[in-house]
Amino acid sequence: MAVDRSSNKKSGKNSTFIIAGVIALGAILLFAYLMFYTAPAEKMELVKIIAVTEAGCIAETMDGFAVSIGDCNGQPGQYVDALVDQKTKERAALMNPTN
């Protein structure tokens, strides 16, 4: 009795390609989600400079979040307009709930 092994080989190759495709699709979707999650969403806000360091200025937003605004030409206590990453504020609020 002869057994046709060519159909088993084709079936094995097809299932390997399907599994590889599902893994690749999952990796692409995960990468896209992470890029969206970590991409900054900056908005111009009025902030109060708290400290001037070698790495830049640390400021406090009007709603009480400490943020790094990079290089600035100000002194502690001054109010300046700066780009603030809104996603950083959201993450800080989730990590430090007030209630």
Please report the pLDDT score of residue 99 as a whole number. 58
Please report the pLDDT score of residue 96 as a whole number. 79
How confident is the model over 43-63, as pLDDT tens digits?
A: 999 999 999 999 889 999 998
CA gap 49, 43 in Å, rounded: 17
pTM over 0.75: no
Q: Domain ranges in the chain? A: 1-39, 42-95
Q: pLDDT band at 95, cuts 50/70/90?
A: confident
Measured from the Cβ of residue 88, the count of other Cβ atoms closer than 10 Å reads 16
State which fold the 42-95 domain adopts: OB fold (Dihydrolipoamide Acetyltransferase, E2P) (2.40.50)
Please report, rounded to a whole number, the percentage of residues in the chain having pLDDT higher than 90.
Answer: 43
